[in-house]
Structure 1
Amino acid sequence: MTDAGRSEAKPPTRGRYAPTQLDEQEILRRGLETFAELGYAATTVRELARRLEVSHNFINDRYGSKGDFWRAVVDFALLGAQTKFDRRLAESRDDGERLRGVIVQLYRLSANASAMNRLLTDESTRDSDRLDYLHERFIKPFWDSIEPAIGRLVAAGRIPRVSSHVLYTAITGPALALAHDPIADRLDPALAPVAEQDRNSLADALSGLVLDGLLRPPVQ
């Protein structure tokens, strides 16, 4: 090939996006926001690539598949949560105070993690391997950690004797609802936007309401 031919040769075609300059936490955070906003089925690899500004092959090359990326996102979002619950459980010898501390912690975590709350709410309505993953890795360990205290409180007459499903819904349902900022803004426009309010104060007000209804005082 002549020098002229070499000078006219075009450079190799590159993907639409250059390799990402985002760190791992930002990649996973954007992934979480996308799954929470669109749901798993509507979140395509192409849409993830667009939001991360990476090549279409990035997710598969780095994580293996969309499903593997989803699991990495969930692990990132819930990292250390159970450790915090376990720490609260160890802080008191009284089952009532032990349960109260964990529920307050759960609601504060939920109030400050609306994207993960939306993802959990959506996945909890679908019978899927993703729900199996959430249950085995996070939901079951949480419930197993508080169930002994709940059992003793039920036996002592401080918590109503109802099914585990009812108790689970009573405890976690309001926490998940802390992600429902759009309806909260419509219910109380004077507080809008709720997302900009003190999230811990909102969580404490709600957890207090739930605990006052759920947990009876000790029998004298």
Structure 2
Amino acid sequence: MPEEEKILRRGLEAFAELGYEGASARELARRLGVSHNFINDRYGSKAAFWRAVVDSAMEAQLARLPQPDPSLDDAECLRRFITGFYLTAVGTPLMDRIMLEELSRDTERLDYLYERYIAPTLDLMTPSIERLVAAGRMAPIPLDVLFFTVIPPMSGVIQGALAQRMGRPVPTSPEQLTATAESLAAIVVNGLLATGVTGH
């Protein structure tokens, strides 16, 4: 693994465990195995380092999302997208922990996440949703309600300690996590589509 990739990976682990505020420059340097002024010298600031960590993790995650396919029914497009979203969470639990923490804080970091990643991701779903609503196959739903319908079930993939107390096997295999992601997506999409279905 190249040095830069190792540094970003260790930064991801630190921010996921400690949160942004809890990850002091001194603690970051210790975990990265670098001098105390390394982050400022290389990235300019802790905030800039956080953005580099997030960009590295999120760009890899988004690259694995299925792209809209005009040959598919809109309901199937929505199902594939949400399933793909949960499946990426299986492979990126650290980034998802950072995301879930940052969503509750009104900060410049939230602005960054929203403008660079959340809004563009929602934009990928919007055309299919608009057509489903227009066809009467899905009830109109405000963007914020849609977001909080789709996002919270992601914790079912990444909150392993709680899930194990509810009976999830220890250790949990990748196949089991994949099945969980697919089951969560099916429940969410079926719920969205059932809301506005009439005569089907």
TM-score normalised by the chain length of structure 2:
0.89
Q: Which has the higher contact order (CA 8 A, sep 6+)?
A: 2
Partner of 1:13: none
Partner of 2:76: 97
The alpha-carbon deviation at position 123 of structure 1 amounts to 0.1
Q: State whether structure 2 residue 189 is matched by structure 1 residue 207.
A: no
**What's the RMSD between the two structures over aligned residues?**
2.2
User: Cα 1:195–1:129, aligned 2, differ >3 Å: closer, same or farther?
Assistant: farther
- Structure 2 residue runs of 5 or longer lacking an equivalent are none
**Is contact 1:184-1:194 (8 Å) kept?**
no
- Report the count of equivalent residues: 198
**Is contact 1:181-1:195 (8 Å) kept?**
no
User: Cα 1:35–1:169, aligned 2, differ >3 Å: closer, same or farther?
Assistant: same
Q: State whether structure 2 residue 96 is matched by structure 1 residue 117.
A: yes
**Is contact 2:156-2:163 (8 Å) kept?**
no
Partner of 1:132: 111
Q: Which has the larger radius of gyration?
A: 1
The alpha-carbon deviation at position 49 of structure 1 amounts to 0.8
State the alpha-carbon separation in 2 of the partners of residues 29 and 200 from structure 1.
23
The one of 27, 46, 54 equivalent to 1:74 is: 54
Partner of 2:136: 157
- Structure 1 residue runs of 5 or longer lacking an equivalent are 1-20
State the alpha-carbon separation in 2 of the partners of residues 116 and 218 from structure 1.
39
**Is contact 1:88-1:102 (8 Å) kept?**
yes
Structure having the larger proportion of residues in helix: 2
Map 1:28-107; keep pairs closer than 5 Å.
28-85=8-65, 87-90=66-69, 92-107=71-86
State percent identity of aligned pairs: 43
Map 1:121-200; keep pairs closer than 5 Å.
121-188=100-167, 191-194=169-172, 198-200=176-178
TM-score normalised by the chain length of structure 1:
0.82
Alignment partner of 2:181: what SS?
helix
